[in-house]
Structure 1
Amino acid sequence: MHRLIEKGLMFGNLIRVDSPVLVERYNRALMHLTGKQTQQDVFHIDISGYSPEIGDEFDDTLYLNHAGVNRQFILLSTEQARAPLLNAKFSTARGILKQFITENRAELFALTARDAVAGELVNSVYLADSPARLFDIRKVRIEADTTTGTVAMADKLGRLIDRFKTEQDAWFDDVLIAQMIGMAKQTGDVMRNPVRLQQMEFDQENFWTDLFGGIYLFRGVEHPAAISAKDKEDLGKLPIEFLFDLTDRSAIAKFLKLNDLVEPIIDARGVDAAAILQQKMDFIVMEVAATMGENLTGATRRDLRRLGRQYAKLLPEAWQGLAALVRWAEEDGPWPKITSEHPAYFYTLRAKPHADADLVNMLLAELTPLDIRQLFICHKEVFYRAYATWPDEKRAYVADFLDREYQVDKAGTREALYGHEAPMEEPRANVQADLITRVGPWGAVGRRG
């Protein structure tokens, strides 16, 4: 993985922690959540506070994500909102954390000026020991506070102030006044600067989970279904009528069409569809050439065209189908009949602009593994696993291509491919303006998601 790390394609945009003060705060939060402390004095953290260096130290990539079900987090800075989420077990987790930080930015900025904020993404499932248990996950709420309980103490101080204002003899209650003064020394002036975090709860209808080999769960659509990356028979009986795996191509195609989740790239407005399809063809040529042991270092599109001619007889049916579609688009060739059983079919689709576009593009990426760019952009967990199995020739080309063609203009590439730069919509929260008083490479704390 060294190529990906060197080019910022893996562990990119992590937050560096090298201040003794921040390390000490992180250790307090880590002890608060897990009962452990790190010996590292310099490390990097993702949006949840997970550090790949500490994961190596503990030999536990889930030290803030026990059993992968209720993800815990440590916030040292609001800057973590721009960091990725490593070792994601649920597709919604990063969006939830990002929205929590964004919606509480001013409050978190004030709290993290003096202490770390520790918390957890909590649902009613503490252990997903069977695929069926995933269906019990309906909502996720966020619980958070500083390691010294500033938020909870501010809530208690607020209630004491209310008593002082409303009780008739409160001015003469020396005990009450002493309590308020003592708490105010720790919380500050909660009347002028309320230490208050929004209580946020997120519906979990449609999501992907890495558990059990990878499952896409679509419950918030007109025709619900679950789609497994592994053999569906291994999942046992699930509380949903339709269960598919990635070999059920026609059934998945029908599911996507019935729920109006995808559109043909060739019909998408404002994109160069032929160029997108041609790039997918180049990736397929690259796969064949790498398999044949060709040196792909610095390979250009011209080089790939040459290799395509050289290995024309070895190019798979997926390439042939895309080529026919490009001929139709560019040269007024005959319309190719590409059905859902055709290997090229899912390569011709992208998600429509809707709230679950990113989830649908994740699914399409897994259905089209030869499109290495889409796999990297939309499904990094699967990309990294696949990358580790590729021949060195392919790894070198892919790392160089992504560095040269994607890293330089991420927003522009996403706009061209999918019609939007960021997720179509962050997870929607049911928010109440209230205090949250409870806290419950490499690849989280008591419970997680």
Structure 2
Amino acid sequence: MKRLIKRGLMFGNLIRVDSPALIARYNRALEKLSGRTTTLTEFHIDISGFSPEVGEEFGDDAYLNPGGCNRQFIILTVDQKKAPLLNASFSTSRGILKQFMAQHEAKLFALTAHDAVAGELENSVYAVGEMRDVLAIRKISVVADTTQSHVANARKLAEKIDHFQTAEGAWYDDQLIDEMIDLARETGDVTRVPVDLGTPTYEQGNFWTSHFGGVYVFRDAETPALITAGDRTQLKGAPFDRFYDLDDVNGIASFLKKNDLVEPVIKARGVDGARILRQKMQFMLVDAATNAGMDLGDMSHRTLRRIANRLAQSRGLPEAFRGLAAMVRWAEAGGKWPRIDSRHPSYFYTLRARPDHPDRDLINQLLSELAPMDVRQLFICHKQAFYGAYATWPDEKREFVAEFLHRDYMANKAGARERLFGGEKTALAESPSARNPWNSVKQDQEALREKLIDVVGPWGAIGRRR
């Protein structure tokens, strides 16, 4: 994994914690949540405050995620909103944390100037024993406060201020006034700088969970279904009519089509579909070559093309490669549309999630597991699966993939995502199934209105004099 870490492909964008003040705040929050503290003088944290170094010290990578169903978090800085979420149990968790931090950025900035904010993504389930427990998680509430209870004290002060202003005779209550002064010393002026984070609640509709070997839950689809990468018998008792294994390609293809969740890459608007498919073919070629023990040489386009010719002569090219090649020929030279159905190994490589679908990222994650030789999509959409696959590859393939991702993806991540999956503005960021009133139709309309104002002014278009 060293070449991934060196190129920023693993543990990238983590926040470094190395000052005694921040470490002391982290330890206060950690002790409050788990009863433990770290002796490390330097470590890195993700968006939830989880540190792989602290996890290694404790021998427990779930020290902030006990039971895998109520994620705890520690916020030392609002910069954590840009960090990834490691060891995620639910695909919605990072999106919820990111939305929470964006909503309350000013308050969190003020609070973390003096203390750490500790909290939990709470739901009604305390342990996951069977799939019914996972499906019982419908709503997730974010509960947070500093280690010195600034938020709770601010609520108390706000209540006392309201009582002071409305209750008869409160102006003469010396005890009430003294209590308000004492609380104000801790919280500051809550009438001018509110620090109440509230308890926002988010709905978890369609999502992926790492429990039971990895399960995709599409319960808000027109025809609900569970798709599992693990043992299907573990889903017994779940209130669903449709269950699919990842090997049930016909069933999954029918599900995706029936619910209008995907589109062919080659026909997608605004993208060079043929180029994308050619890159997928390159990944397949590298996989076939390294499995056959062939030397990739300088890994240049010319060398890979020579390897493709050798594999073609020995009938060593994967059938999926041939299917994508036929589709590229159709796109670039015309002719008959190649009939590639779900029984063909290249089928899922030809698809992407509809860019305007609210669960776009979840669908692309599923497709990355169905088309695992597309290492770029696997890395972008499902890093846990990518790291697991990477550990099994020949060393030469690891070098090729690490260098390709470093050169092609890391140089322009936003551009690569838009080119492959569609513009970010067409889908909710990170985890669209984690919805709350903040992501409402009214807000979308307001955003459109502001955009129009930027273009034509607040009074509408003004015609030019002729």
**TM-score over 0.5 (shorter chain):** yes
1:357 to 356, 360, 363: 360
Distance in 2 separating the partners of 1:423 and 1:141:
26
Q: 2:221 maps to which residue?
A: 221
Distance in 1 separating the partners of 2:438 and 2:282:
47
Q: 1:445 maps to which residue?
A: none
Instruction: State the 1:303 CA deviation.
Output: 1.8
Q: 2:402 maps to which residue?
A: 399
Distance in 1 separating the partners of 2:423 and 2:129:
36
**TM-score, length of structure 1 as denominator length:** 0.94
SS at match of 1:334: coil
2:320 to 318, 333, 352: 318
Q: 1:72-221 alignment to 2 at 5 Å?
A: 72-221=72-221
2:435 to 428, 431, 435: 428
Instruction: State the 1:297 CA deviation.
Output: 6.0
Kindly provide the CA deviation profile for residues 4-58 of structure 1, in whole angstroms up to 9, marking residues without a partner as x.
0000000000001111100000000000000000001111100000011101100
Segment of structure 1 superposing worse, 72-81 or 163-172:
163-172
Distance in 1 separating the partners of 2:308 and 2:164:
81
**TM-score, length of structure 2 as denominator length:** 0.90
Change (3 A) 1:385 1:342: same
Where structure 1 has 5 or more consecutive residues not aligned to the other structure, the ranges are 433-449
SS at match of 1:370: coil
Tell whether 2:345 aligns with 1:333: no
SS at match of 1:311: helix
* Matched-pair contact (CA < 8 Å) for 1:75–1:118: yes
Distance in 1 separating the partners of 2:166 and 2:438:
28
SS at match of 2:226: strand
Instruction: State the 1:420 CA deviation.
Output: 2.1
Instruction: State the 1:61 CA deviation.
Output: 0.7
SS at match of 1:336: coil
* Matched-pair contact (CA < 8 Å) for 2:262–2:353: yes
User: Which of the pair has the greater relative contact order for Cα pairs under 8 Å at 6+ separation?
Assistant: 1
* Matched-pair contact (CA < 8 Å) for 1:29–1:116: yes
Distance in 2 separating the partners of 1:349 and 1:28:
48
Identity %: 57
Q: 2:237 maps to which residue?
A: 237
Amino acid at match of 2:331: A
SS at match of 2:200: strand
Distance in 1 separating the partners of 2:365 and 2:438:
28
Distance in 2 separating the partners of 1:215 and 1:270:
32
* Matched-pair contact (CA < 8 Å) for 1:104–1:198: no
Change (3 A) 1:49 1:392: same
Distance in 1 separating the partners of 2:23 and 2:248:
49
Instruction: State the 1:422 CA deviation.
Output: 7.4
Instruction: State the 1:170 CA deviation.
Output: 1.5
Distance in 2 separating the partners of 1:300 and 1:372:
18
Where structure 2 has 5 or more consecutive residues not aligned to the other structure, the ranges are 440-466
Q: 1:444 maps to which residue?
A: none
SS at match of 2:331: helix
Kindly provide the CA deviation profile for residues 170-208 of structure 1, in whole angstroms up to 9, marking residues without a partner as x.
222121111111111101111111112143111111000
SS at match of 2:118: strand
SS at match of 2:373: coil
Kindly provide the CA deviation profile for residues 281-331 of structure 1, in whole angstroms up to 9, marking residues without a partner as x.
111110011112233364122222111111121112111111111111112
Q: 2:296 maps to which residue?
A: 296
Amino acid at match of 1:272: D
Kindly provide the CA deviation profile for residues 347-390 of structure 1, in whole angstroms up to 9, marking residues without a partner as x.
00000021100000000000000000000011101001111111
Instruction: State the 1:166 CA deviation.
Output: 1.6
Change (3 A) 1:419 1:335: same
Amino acid at match of 2:9: L
Instruction: State the 1:217 CA deviation.
Output: 0.1
Tell whether 2:54 aligns with 1:59: no
Instruction: State the 1:253 CA deviation.
Output: 0.7
Q: 1:409 maps to which residue?
A: 412
Tell whether 2:365 aligns with 1:377: no
SS at match of 2:239: coil
Moved over 4 A (4+): none
Distance in 2 separating the partners of 1:201 and 1:85:
20
* Matched-pair contact (CA < 8 Å) for 2:353–2:360: yes
SS at match of 2:16: strand
Q: Give the alignment's Cα RMSD to 1 decimal.
A: 1.4
SS at match of 2:217: strand
Change (3 A) 1:288 1:397: same
Distance in 2 separating the partners of 1:212 and 1:422:
33
Change (3 A) 1:170 1:234: closer
> How many correspondences in the alignment?
432
